[in-house]
Amino acid sequence: MNREVIATPGAPTPMAHYCQGIVAGDTLFAAGQIASDYKTGVAPEARQDPAFPYYGSDIQKQARYILQNLRGVFAAAGCGPADVVKSQVFMTDLNDFHYFDQVWKEFFPSPPPRTTVQVGGLLVPGCRVEIDLIGVKPRVERRVITGSSTPAPMAHYCQGVLAGDTLYAAGQIASDYRTGVPPEARADPAFPYYASDIQKQTRYVLENIRSVYRAAGCEFGDTVKAQVFLTDVRDFPYFDAVWREFFPSPPPRTTVQIGALLVPGCRIEIDLTAVHARVARKVITTQDAPAPMAHYCQGMLVGDTLYAAGQLASHHRTGVATEARQDPAFPYYGSDIQKQTRYVLQNLRTVFDAAGCTLADVVKSQVFLTDLNDFYYFDQVWKEFFPSPPPRTTLQVSNLLVPGCRVEIDLTGRRQ
């Protein structure tokens, strides 16, 4: 499949080892953008002017700066904001959301699906939001999807977009957008031992997403990638039990703990991508990468696209894998983050190999670190595996599913 690396002076040149975007076939995968010029920290035009404190806000200036830069990346790829089919917004403080959403409306009169969560930090101090976009070429047929029984969003996004054969669904939380968390997503206090909040919320969310799927002519068996954002990873086993009800044959999945969701009391947001069943697919399983303990698969090859599950440096018998730990006998000859990164990327390479791909086929990457102080050392290992780097989004999250794991890496590839 033809691909083009996007590099434009219309957006700041990255300091770290990634590119601004890749066009693979008719799809544009853009790197996550923050409000930095990579020269001064937060760019001057993205900061409130202290001489005029009542004429702007940091979050609105940052959002506008980022979206203008992303517009430059899209323009270099022959696309525009109207071609965005998927968006993820990572904020350091959800109290900024209302003001952010006002700027979003300026750039997206017809809004794309969106997922919004609060994370623990971004790579440049003072940055308050990172925006991650996927787009398609203008020639790709698309349709806005509205589920018949899915609550209408309060904010400026749509429930889904069907672009060609791919359904990009908005992240869903357990809110009816009228009462907060609705009664049917809460444990009944009169019967506290007969249900749990997380299980009721998970079921409520998945039922609403199923309505969106059916409006697009899809079923859950068409899901090719899942991302799950939990406010507390201790909820995970109870969530996973409900997940099995909806996904007898599970898709690849990435699960991280984040700081907060947009409606107080919500404990989970689920972000799904599906491809119509008429597109050929193959579940990827290899013994050269650790077998998942939970209910997901290592990867799925759909047409020429490989959707890989998020990987962390864990083995199902030992927790953090022995080879991903610093040897206490040789404390000056390695570091946990570098050993973990190398272990994760080696395992992802075997998943890609099993699909007939290589890491050179990666078109999108997301990196979830538990401590951004690890980033510099992580990036050194990243360069070993990606001489020509893909677009990347990097975030600090609150926790990962295995204690001691410091990084989770989520990759998407397109066979060339």
* Residue 71 lies in domain: 1-140
> Cβ neighbours of residue 373 under 8 Å, at least 6 residues apart?
none
Residues 233 and 146 in one domain: yes
d(CA 374, CA 97): 28
Going by C-alpha positions, the residue among 120, 133, 126, 131 that lies closest to residue 369 is: 120
- Please check whether residues 172 and 288 belong to one and the same domain: no
Whether residues 384 and 267 share a domain: the answer is no
**pLDDT for res 331:** 84
The enclosing domain of 163 has a CATH number of 3.30.1330.40
**Which mean pLDDT values do the consecutive 10-residue runs of the chain (416 residues) have?**
91 94 97 97 93 87 97 97 98 97 96 98 97 98 96 95 98 96 92 88 98 98 98 97 96 98 97 97 94 93 98 89 89 88 98 97 98 97 96 98 97 95
Residues 78 and 151 in one domain: no
365: Cβ–Cβ under 8 A, 6 or more apart, which residues?
18, 390, 391, 392, 393, 409, 410, 411, 412
> What pLDDT is recorded for position 335?
84
**pLDDT score for 190:** 86
pLDDT of residue 329: 86
Based on the domain organization, do 7 and 54 belong to the same domain?
yes
**Contact predicate 229/271, CB 8 Å:** yes
Q: Domain check: are 35 and 131 in the same one?
A: yes
Residues 16 and 127 in one domain: yes
* Contact (Cβ atoms closer than 8 angstroms) between residue 92 and residue 204: no
Same-domain status, 180 and 267 = yes
Give how many domains the chain has, as a whole number. 3
Beta bridge partners of 273: 168, 225
pLDDT at residue number 86: 98
Last residue of a domain, one of 114, 140, 166: 140
Q: Are residues 200 and 301 in the same domain?
A: no
Report the 10 Å Cβ neighbour count for 243.
Answer: 23
Residues 107 and 18 in one domain: yes
Nearest Cα to Cα of residue 176 among 158, 149, 157, 200: 149
Query: What H or E segment, with its residue span, contains residue 58?
Result: helix 58-76
Q: Give the whole-angstrom CA distance, residue 338 versus residue 375.
A: 10
Q: In this structure, are 76 and 192 located in the same domain?
A: no
Report the pLDDT value the prediction gives residue 390, as an integer from 0 to 100.
Answer: 97
**What CA dihedral angle connects 400, 367, 361 and 81, to 10 degrees?**
120
Q: Are residues 178 and 259 in the same domain?
A: yes
